[in-house]
C-alpha cells in the first residue's frame, strides 16, 4: 500500500476491497445457520397462528344444520 502522503493507487483500492470482501464473506458464512433457523421458526409460527386463527374463525361463525326425520 502507499504511504500516508503518497497518492492512492488502483492496487491500494483493490487490496482494500478484497480485504472487505473477505470480512463480509466470513461474517455471512457464520450467520447463515442462525438465519436458516430463524426463518424456520418464523415459518412454523406463521403456520401455527394461521391454523389457530382459522380454527377459531370456523367455530365462531359455523352454521348449525338441523336434520329432522318426518
> What per-residue confidence (pLDDT) applies to 16?
95
* Position with higher pLDDT, 69 vs 63: 69
> What per-residue confidence (pLDDT) applies to 60?
66
Please state the pTM of the whole predicted model: 0.51
CA atoms within 13 A on the CB side of 15: 7
pLDDT one-digit tens code per residue, 14-62: 999 999 999 999 888 888 889 999 999 999 999 999 999 888 776 666 6
Q: 15 is in which domain, residue-wise?
A: 1-70
Per-residue DSSP letter, 4: T
Geometric angle at alpha carbon 40, from 43 and 20, rounded to 5°? 120
Q: Which residue has the cell 389457530?
A: 52
> What per-residue confidence (pLDDT) applies to 65?
81
The contacts of residue 20 (CB under 8 Å, 6+ apart) are none
Instruction: Give the chain's domain count.
Output: 1
Does the pLDDT value for residue 6 go beyond 90?
Answer: no
Amino acid at each position: 500500500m502507499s504511504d500516508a502522503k503518497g497518492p492512492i493507487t488502483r492496487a491500494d483500492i483493490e487490496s482494500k476491497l478484497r480485504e472487505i470482501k473477505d470480512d463480509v464473506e466470513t461474517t455471512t458464512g457464520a450467520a447463515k445457520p442462525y438465519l436458516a433457523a430463524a426463518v424456520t421458526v418464523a415459518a412454523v409460527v406463521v403456520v401455527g397462528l394461521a391454523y389457530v386463527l382459522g380454527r377459531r374463525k370456523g367455530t365462531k361463525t359455523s352454521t348449525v344444520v338441523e336434520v329432522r326425520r318426518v
